[in-house]
């Protein structure tokens, strides 16, 4: 969370005073307004405010018709919610390497494609844009769906297009740790009317045809789904946060660019697929050994993070996936379903060694939008001192 204040308090106050806390209402209508802002800011005709990024990704996969008998390619470096969304849809996640940008490796994506592959999920991890030109070329060549995981990249872009809007559908996250937040929440984005209708039905099938006229003009029939509907309190906060998004991105980018320019002659940065579209929440330093990376990360005043240590963001720590436990009830477990019997991947801790090596030789430092030039200069001097002494 970067910025929050009285505006969010006042927005929540209005909802509470209206006494209309349910999403569908005739009062403040915070959810409706937040979805309108999502559509405008991300330049898509359809958007749904949901409970989480995982909910958005799962809804996207289901809405695209992906399920048992299908494989979906995911990167080895992403939060476990990404492969779990594939499992939630009944399909099999196939894990591939990341490249030097720490985003999904298009070459490995193409190597991992089989006759069962139906989709690929490029993940814009840490706000770093994936190589969407290559991913789109591969998807078009092999007739695959693209579900963008932009959960760590709210508002970022690739060649001028918002992350999450380039593929067939996209997911955003608004939990506490993201660029903008409502505590917990997610956004589903698509340009396809049928996909939107299915996602809307799936994310709230218990209420979608009961409250309001949400299914007005729908051509898709109702089916049983889940309940990922959010509420007016979270939506009120999100509405204000969406207003803050561009300012946060602008100031993050200014500070990151400034520090990178000051440091360009003394270090190597992780390369970017689009540095201008990067959310700029992270300075990513690249080293030639894990030893140097760890010395730098732990140097006094640095407070860095080596991404190999980030737990559930690294495939080796996806316990439920690696152990093939897709559900408590074995009859509901996609790993044990008849339709998947011939397509269950062989997950091994050493199956993506390039990813593990790359993640062990990088150090992340946070970038803050409210840091002044003086604070940035102080940080630069500390970084230079650390680099000179490792």
Torsion angles phi and psi, residue 169, rounded to 5: -160, 160
Residue 387: which H helix or E strand, with range?
Answer: helix 373-388
> What is the C-alpha to C-alpha distance for residues 315 and 95, in angstroms, rounded to an integer?
8
Strand spans (E) along the chain: 46-50, 71-75, 92-96, 117-120, 145-149, 157-158, 161-162, 169-173, 186-190, 268-269, 282-286, 362-366
The three-state (H, E, C) secondary structure of 49-100, written as one string: EECCHHHHHHHHHHHCCCCCCCEEEEECECCCHHHHHHHHCCCEEEEECECC
The Cα angle at residue 283 between residues 281 and 49, in degrees rounded to 5: 20
Q: Tokens at residue 211, please?
A: 């409250």
Q: Tokens at residue 73, please?
A: 């390619």
Nearest to 285 by CA among 376, 232, 202, 360: 360
Residue 277: which H helix or E strand, with range?
Answer: none
Question: Between helices 232-263 and 6-18, what is the axis angle to 10°?
Answer: 170
Residue 54 · residue 47 · CB < 8 Å: no
Catalytic: which of 23, 37, 118, 178?
178
Q: Is there a catalytic annotation at residue 254? A: no
Q: Which residues are catalytic?
A: 178
């Amino acid at each position: 969370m970067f910025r929050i204040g009285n505006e969010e308090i006042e927005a929540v106050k209005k909802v509470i005073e209206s006494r209309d806390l349910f999403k569908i209402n005739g009062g403040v209508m915070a959810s409706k307004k937040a979805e309108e802002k999502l559509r405008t800011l991300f330049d898509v005709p359809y958007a749904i405010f949901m409970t989480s990024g995982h909910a958005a990704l799962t809804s996207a996969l289901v809405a695209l018709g992906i399920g048992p008998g299908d494989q979906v390619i995911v990167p080895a470096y992403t939060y476990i919610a990404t492969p779990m969304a594939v499992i939630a849809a009944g399909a099999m996640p196939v894990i591939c390497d990341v490249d030097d940008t720490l985003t999904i490796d298009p070459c490995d994506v193409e190597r991992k494609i089989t006759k069962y592959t139906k989709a690929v999920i490029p993940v814009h991890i840490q706000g770093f844009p994936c190589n969407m030109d290559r991913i789109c070329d591969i998807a078009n060549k092999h007739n695959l769906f693209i579900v963008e995981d932009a959960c760590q990249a709210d508002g970022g872009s690739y060649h001028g297009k918002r992350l999450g809007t380039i593929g067939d559908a996209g997911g955003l996250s608004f939990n506490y740790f993201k660029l903008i937040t409502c505590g917990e929440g997610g956004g589903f984005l698509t340009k396809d009317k049928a996909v939107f209708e299915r996602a809307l039905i799936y994310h709230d099938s218990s209420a979608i045809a009961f409250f309001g006229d949400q299914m007005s003009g729908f051509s898709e029939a109702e089916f049983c789904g889940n309940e990922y509907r959010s509420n007016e309190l979270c939506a009120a906060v999100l509405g204000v946060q969406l207003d803050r998004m561009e300012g946060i991105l602008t100031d993050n980018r200014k500070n990151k660019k400034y520090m990178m320019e000051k440091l360009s002659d003394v270090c190597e940065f992780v390369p970017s697929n689009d540095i201008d579209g990067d959310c700029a929440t992270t300075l990513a330093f690249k080293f030639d050994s894990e030893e140097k990376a760890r010395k730098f990360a732990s140097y006094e005043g640095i407070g860095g993070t080596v991404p190999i240590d980030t737990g559930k963001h690294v495939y080796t720590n996806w316990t439920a996936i690696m152990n093939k436990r897709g559900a408590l009830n074995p009859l509901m477990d996609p790993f044990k379903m008849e339709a998947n019997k011939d397509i269950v991947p062989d997950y091994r801790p050493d199956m993506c060694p390039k990813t593990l090596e790359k993640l062990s030789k990088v150090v992340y430092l946070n970038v803050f939008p409210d840091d002044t030039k003086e604070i940035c200069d102080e940080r630069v001097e500390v970084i230079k001192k650390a680099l000179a002494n490792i």
